[in-house]
Amino acid sequence: MSSPRSGGLPLVEAERSAVLVLPGPVARGEAAGLCEQVRMMLAGGGERVVVCDVGGLGPPGLGVVDLLARLELTARRDGGRIRLRDPDPALLALLDLVGLRFQVEGQAEEREPPLGVEEAVETGDPAV
């Protein structure tokens, strides 16, 4: 949905999303409760994305990876997805190492190239 702006360009409304703040180290037993919170957030108001603020989780480890994988699985089962807010670069590296991909706030979606990036064409390549 967009609305006109004084300069003639439309303002595009951001996708609505609920925010789940994950505080300092999360114990394994807390995962079920957090998954239930994700379920309720997705069922409650039409949001399709739950933003998980992971800035306060502390040092990344396999427990954090397990928690995020469970939250993503829960969201996917309910027709949504998880987006990370303020992830530590080490957490992103660990997630990449184990093969988990999450959208991060402020990054272009995987299928959309960042603005200003063009694909290179090798001269001499046959036309397709």
Q: Decide which of 75 and 45 is more confident.
A: 75
Range of the domain at 21: 15-103
Q: In this structure, is residue 122 part of a structural domain?
A: no
Q: In this structure, is residue 37 part of a structural domain?
A: yes
In tens, the pLDDT along 20-46 reads 999 888 887 899 999 999 999 998 767
Q: In this structure, is residue 112 part of a structural domain?
A: no
* pTM value > 0.85: no
Q: In this structure, is residue 119 part of a structural domain?
A: no
Q: In this structure, is residue 128 part of a structural domain?
A: no
Q: In this structure, is residue 22 part of a structural domain?
A: yes
* Pairing between β-strand 17-21 and β-strand 11-12 as defined by DSSP bridges: unpaired
How many structural domains compose the chain?
A: 1
Q: In this structure, is residue 3 part of a structural domain?
A: no
Closest among 41, 28, 52, 37 to 102, alpha carbons compared:
52
Q: Decide which of 86 and 2 is more confident.
A: 86
Closest among 65, 115, 59, 114 to 88, alpha carbons compared:
59
On the question of pLDDT at 6 being above 90, the answer is: no
Q: In this structure, is residue 80 part of a structural domain?
A: yes
Which of the four pLDDT bands, split at 50, 70 and 90, describes residue 99? very high
Q: Decide which of 56 and 1 is more confident.
A: 56
Average pLDDT over residues 61-86: 94
For residue 38, the domain's CATH number is 3.30.750.24
Residue 51: C-alpha distances to residues 5, 38, 113, 116 (Å): 28, 10, 22, 27
